[in-house]
Structure 1
Amino acid sequence: MRIAKNIFVWLIALGYFIASIALVSADKEDKICNTIDFSINDTTGCYFVERTDILQLLEQRNLKTIGQPFTRINKAQIEQAVINHPSVKNAQVYIENDSTLAIEVVQRNPIVRVFNYNGESYYIDKEGYVMPLSENYTAHVPVVSGKINEPYGRFVGWKIDEYESRNELGRTTILDDVYLLATFLINNYFWQSQIEQLFVNVEGEFEMVPKVGANIIEFGDASELEEKFNKLELLYERGFRRVGWNKYSRINVKYKNQVVCTKR
């Protein structure tokens, strides 16, 4: 009997606690939104999404906030609208301090900048999404140009492998190789500090311009990345120490188990 009584008391307490939370939540919903608190999580030092961008986006979607009761503010719609921005990775929207609408934004992190042959330029982020440039900031990432015909408008907001999977003809894109190569570079401190420019030649193969030395690295496609960079690293550590950085004009690592160097 005593156990049943204790359970009954705990159930009443739990019900009271849940009811209190519901009342507090309902009370918040009845309040008027006076301000918007923006929090933009950025690890790049480049703010590709700013407060004015979000405000403009809400205005374009007719998502009213300031002066509106929270009961009339659709937080889910605002959240989805912000997430749909091509430079945004994630977003959360919630009520804060009774009169404030909090919008937390996690920005995408670009790892390579693409220039196609039409003069368009855009970034690919760490997760493989195509994202736009910023008028105010430039990310310090490797640059790739050359035989790249992929237009920005076709790929923006899409993850590269998702675009390939929805392509009815099953076509692959050079951006896939660009992404693989850029991902390798950012995950390797040595090569991240050595390679600043990539070029896609007429054969669709990569050539690299290092920061040190006046030579071109003929890399081939994006297959066997680790093996090719290991061969190149051995040349940097052993060969260049003896003969110097500028003895060769071209360094070819695209063939298996060999490095072919062309003298000046």
Structure 2
Amino acid sequence: MKKLNWNNIRLVLIVVLMIFLYSFSGTKNQERKIQKINIAFNADDYPFLNETMVNNLLIQNFQGTSKVKKERVDLNKLESLLNANKYVDNSEVFCSIDGFLNAKIKQKKPIIRVFNENGSYYLDDKGNKVPLSENFTPRVPVYYGVISAKEVKQLVSLFNFIENDEMLKHNIVDIKKTQKGNIIFSVRNYDYKVIFGTEANMETKFKNYKAFLQHATKDTLIKRYKSINLIFTEQVICAK
């Protein structure tokens, strides 16, 4: 009769015990009820949504109560619910072991407000339409006119360029497009119009405009100008 190998027996017992404890803790974890909902927004986002609005939206999915077992929480469904919101760019929902439901939300970033005979809305930095909000009104330039589907890509590139440049962002207040396709800006503090032309060579045109401002603001003549023409990339033409 072979002598029992107690070391092997201990090893088997330890493995069995670990499996049991893991299974037990997993079951207890799934049985644990959601104790609280934590909402985290991207710090740089516009506050279209607030914590109460998102919290209520999630609780509605739980049929009016947050005391729901973790095993019943469909995280993918909650993410889809949040992502379907008109102000949400993307979201991440997950449960922590302490019974908290966590939602990280990035809101859409409007870069222009569009006005036309059909109403008003925002365009975000990806070219998506964002409706107006009673909760918050961002300070962004205004575009007057209808934007067709074929124009969106180029115009959003232009709007993003303005949004990402601090000087242009605070200088340009509204934008129009003529029937000939020329873009015209109105600016803050001065009465002249900036005739930009098409979206082509926008970096060079804006560089020329910023160079013009740097020198022109040192002279009182800038207040007499009626238009600043940037169409020709080799020069800036000013008219009184």
TM-score (norm 2): 0.80
Root-mean-square deviation over aligned CA pairs: 3.2
SS state of the match for residue 246, structure 1? helix
Q: Tell whether the 8 Å contact from 1:28 to 1:95 is kept in structure 2 after alignment.
A: no
Deviations 1:109-153 (A, max 9, x none): 2222222332222x22233333222211111222211x3155xxx
1:201 is matched with 178
Q: Does 1:181 align with 2:153?
A: no
1:37 is matched with 38
Separation of aligned partners in 1, 2:67 and 2:143: 47
Q: Give the total of aligned pairs.
A: 230
1:191 is matched with 168
Separation of aligned partners in 2, 1:42 and 1:87: 15
Q: How does 1:1-264 map to 2 (within 5 A)?
A: 23-44=24-45, 46-55=46-55, 57-58=57-58, 62-64=61-63, 66-96=66-96, 98-121=98-121, 123-145=122-144, 147-149=145-147, 172-173=150-151, 175-263=152-240
5+ long unaligned stretches in structure 1: 1-11, 151-170
Separation of aligned partners in 2, 1:128 and 1:41: 20
Separation of aligned partners in 2, 1:14 and 1:41: 44
2:4 is matched with none
Q: Tell whether the 8 Å contact from 1:228 to 1:254 is kept in structure 2 after alignment.
A: yes
SS state of the match for residue 48, structure 1? coil
Identity %: 24
Separation of aligned partners in 1, 2:40 and 2:214: 45
Q: Cα offset for 1:255?
A: 2.7
TM-score (norm 1): 0.73
SS state of the match for residue 89, structure 2? strand
